[in-house]
């Protein structure tokens, strides 16, 4: 994993130099689902990736003091996973062998060189390393009394990560951002703990695997939408543009054609001809298809989806007792946890965030155009859920933020009293059903 980290570090400067000068952004950049760049989910950062939205990071009250921060972070921009690398290769071969007609940019599509390989599949990219470095630097500015040189050197900042290399390397990149911000030498190393029980709870939940992920009936709405009129229309227009028979373009190739624009842009900062194949309306359909899958496999679609995150939920609320005046040193002031989209979505759902008035189904695409459950906005690369505990004159207050912007828990204000939060989740805090998840994965220090 560390070798991969060094390899991608070598190209980091080139990518940053390129991305700093990008002016063109794909028209569909806000609809790339979980392949969306962080700064496209929050365009405030497009001009200055280190900018702080002062109006969004206010304390509950001027007299409040932050005393603890938990940041659960998705890994940064990655290469396509192995399955998607294969889909891209098949699409590339199909376009080169069968596409024809007078599409103005068809020669560019045919000339495009497929550079995605199984060797780099799923790994963190140089841009992804930048995502984490920049996030760390912004958080140092946002919580300057917690993310300090002293707290870091005295091991009061803890790091937990998934065992997957892109998460480990994201953790190392986040640490690098802290070092650069706090003038800590590069050779200073900070421990991290690999803990898949927390960060990959979804992989050890047998009930989730059996009843949802490996059960076609549980995701029938996804299948119905993929075979429905909206997707068929998108499918047909791609067939018409490339003059490839409809039957020769599989759903996997349709998705590969759409997300190639996202990969080329997020990884290289390039707006390629692949971006011209889908208009805004079609991008909204593709984005909804992605959300529909995540809604039924990771979100509100089934109770087990979000109950599987109960172990992480309890860890989030496992805060130390503090004196009212915060008069004694504590062993931990910041806990940084790096995982996956599949880590964040169930936990956000368990908290009751981004729940719309109607469910996401195959037949209500139009009604859900402005849905709260929107993974392009909520779970881009380097997405994060933060819980900041504040000591205020009227007691402890807990402030939640998603992608550095405040969010209100159901029925509560943006900065509720901690006691109000515990009352809201009283049933969950009493304990989780052991059958909903399985403990037993090992964790180790590195």
How does pLDDT run across 344-363, given as a tens digit for each residue? 999 999 999 999 999 999 99
Answer for the pair 199, 165: CB distance below 8 angstroms, yes or no.
no
Beta bridge partners of 71: 336, 386
CATH number at residue 178: 3.40.50.1240
pTM here is 0.92
How does pLDDT run across 295-321, given as a tens digit for each residue? 999 999 999 999 999 999 999 998 755
Residue 373 neighbours by CB under 8 Å, 6+ apart: 291, 295, 299, 300, 354, 355, 356, 360
How does pLDDT run across 382-420, given as a tens digit for each residue? 999 999 999 999 999 999 999 999 999 999 999 999 999
Report if residue 28 sits inside a domain: no
What size, in residues, is the chain?
Answer: 446
Report the distance separating Cα 24 and Cα 310, nearest Å.
42
Report if residue 171 sits inside a domain: yes
pLDDT at position 433 is 58
Residue 1 has pLDDT above 90, yes or no: no
Q: Which residue segment(s) compose the domain that 370 sits in?
A: 33-439
Report the distance separating Cα 157 and Cα 71, nearest Å.
11
Report if residue 18 sits inside a domain: no
Look at the chain and report how many structural domains it folds into.
1
Q: Which residues participate in catalysis according to the annotation?
A: 75
Q: What three-state secondary structure class fits 57?
A: coil
Report if residue 247 sits inside a domain: yes
Look up residue 124 and give its DSSP letter.
B
Torsion angle in degrees (nearest 10) through CA of 15, 16, 18, 19: 110
pLDDT at position 310 is 94
Report if residue 97 sits inside a domain: yes
Residue 17 has pLDDT above 50, yes or no: no
- Run of H or E residues at 22: none
Q: What are phi and psi of 43, to 5 degrees?
A: -55, -10
Report the distance separating Cα 173 and Cα 124, nearest Å.
10
Q: Residue written as tokens 């496209």? A: 40
Q: What three-state secondary structure class fits 395?
A: strand
Residue 328 neighbours by CB under 8 Å, 6+ apart: none
How does pLDDT run across 256-295, given as a tens digit for each residue? 999 999 999 999 999 999 999 999 999 999 999 999 999 9
Q: From the CA atom positions of the chain, what is the Rg in Å?
A: 22
Q: What are phi and psi of 327, to 5 degrees?
A: -95, 5
């Amino acid at each position: 994993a560390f070798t991969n980290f060094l390899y991608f570090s070598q190209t980091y400067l080139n990518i940053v130099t390129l991305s700093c000068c990008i002016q063109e952004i794909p028209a569909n950049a806000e609809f790339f689902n979980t392949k969306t760049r962080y700064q496209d989910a929050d365009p405030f950062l497009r001009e200055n990736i280190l900018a702080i939205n002062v109006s969004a990071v206010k304390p509950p009250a001027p007299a409040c003091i932050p005393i603890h921060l938990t940041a659960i972070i998705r890994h940064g921009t990655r290469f396509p996973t192995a399955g998607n690398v294969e889909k891209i290769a098949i699409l590339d071969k199909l376009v080169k062998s069968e596409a024809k007609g007078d599409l103005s940019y068809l020669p560019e599509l045919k000339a495009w060189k497929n550079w995605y390989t199984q060797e780099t599949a799923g790994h963190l990219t140089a841009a992804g390393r930048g995502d984490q470095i920049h996030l760390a630097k912004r958080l140092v500015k946002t919580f300057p009394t917690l993310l300090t040189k002293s707290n870091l050197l005295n091991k009061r900042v803890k790091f937990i990560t998934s065992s997957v290399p892109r998460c480990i390397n994201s953790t190392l990149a986040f640490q690098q951002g802290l070092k650069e911000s706090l003038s800590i030498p590069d050779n200073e190393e900070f421990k991290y703990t690999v803990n898949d029980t927390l960060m990959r709870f979804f992989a050890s939940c047998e009930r989730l695997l059996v009843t949802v992920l490996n059960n076609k009936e549980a995701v029938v709405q996804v299948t119905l939408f993929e075979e429905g009129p909206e997707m068929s229309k998108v499918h047909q227009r791609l067939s018409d543009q490339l003059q490839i028979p409809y039957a020769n373009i599989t759903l996997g190739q349709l998705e590969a054609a759409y997300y190639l624009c996202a990969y080329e842009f997020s990884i290289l900062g390039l707006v390629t001809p692949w971006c011209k194949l889908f208009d805004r309306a079609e991008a909204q359909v593709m984005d909804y298809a992605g959300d529909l899958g995540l809604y039924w496999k990771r979100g509100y679609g089934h109770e087990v989806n979000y109950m599987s995150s109960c172990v992480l939920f309890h860890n989030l609320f496992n805060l130390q007792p503090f004196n009212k005046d915060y008069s004694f040193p504590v062993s931990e002031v910041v806990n940084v946890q790096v995982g996956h989209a599949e880590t964040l979505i169930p936990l956000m759902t368990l908290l009751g965030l981004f729940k719309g008035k109607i469910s996401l189904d195959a037949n209500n695409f139009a009604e859900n155009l402005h849905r709260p459950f929107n993974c392009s906005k909520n779970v881009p690369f380097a997405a994060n859920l933060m819980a900041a505990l504040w000591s205020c004159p009227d007691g402890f207050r807990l402030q939640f933020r998603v992608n550095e912007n405040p969010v209100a828990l159901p029925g509560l204000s943006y900065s509720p009293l901690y006691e109000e939060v515990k009352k809201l989740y009283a049933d969950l805090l009493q304990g989780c059903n052991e059958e909903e998840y399985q403990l037993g994965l090992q964790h180790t220090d590195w």
